[in-house]
């Protein structure tokens, strides 16, 4: 997904500079991609929240039961949650850049 977003950002910026597409077409294509990225962000938010809840539950259970297996599960979920947070952070920042590109497209047209 990261490679796809980066490639799309390069393409849309190049398309804006080149003037090859009309502003209406660029805006339409860009809005489709923004919708796709927003959906991806929502799914990752739900998964991140779910893994965070599981991680905190396993931490509570590992403290309460003193079981090594539950602590190992907590460790695994901790790293999974950490990577989900990092990916969600990337998606959020990418969408903010997409919004700025939308402003750039709209400012050119106005």
* Residue ranges per structural domain of the chain: 22-109
Please report the pLDDT score of residue 33 as a whole number. 92
**What is the per-residue pLDDT across 5-14, written as a single tens digit (0 to 9) for each?**
899 899 988 9
Please report the pLDDT score of residue 79 as a whole number. 94
Please report the pLDDT score of residue 109 as a whole number. 54
Please report the pLDDT score of residue 108 as a whole number. 63
Report the distance separating Cα 107 and Cα 110, nearest Å.
Answer: 5
Stated pTM of the model: 0.76
Q: What are the φ/ψ torsions at residue 67 (nearest 5 degrees)?
A: -90, 135
Please report the pLDDT score of residue 103 as a whole number. 86
**What is the per-residue pLDDT across 56-87, written as a single tens digit (0 to 9) for each?**
999 999 989 988 898 999 999 999 999 999 99
**What is the per-residue pLDDT across 14-53, written as a single tens digit (0 to 9) for each?**
988 888 888 888 889 899 999 999 998 899 999 999 999 9
**Residue of 87, 107, 105 lying closest to 16 (CA atoms):** 105
**Could you tell me the end-to-end alpha-carbon distance of the chain, in angstroms, rounded to an integer?**
32
Please report the pLDDT score of residue 67 as a whole number. 86
């Amino acid at each position: 997904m990261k490679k796809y977003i980066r490639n799309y950002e390069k393409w849309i910026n190049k398309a804006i500079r080149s003037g090859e597409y009309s502003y209406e077409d660029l805006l339409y294509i860009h809005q489709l991609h923004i919708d796709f990225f927003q959906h991806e962000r929502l799914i990752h938010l739900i998964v991140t929240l779910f893994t965070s809840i599981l991680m905190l539950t396993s931490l509570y259970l590992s403290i309460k039961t003193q079981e090594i297996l539950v602590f190992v599960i907590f460790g695994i979920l901790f790293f999974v949650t950490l990577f989900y947070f990092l990916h969600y952070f990337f998606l959020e920042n990418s969408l903010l850049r997409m919004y700025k590109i939308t402003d750039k497209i709209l400012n050119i047209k106005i």
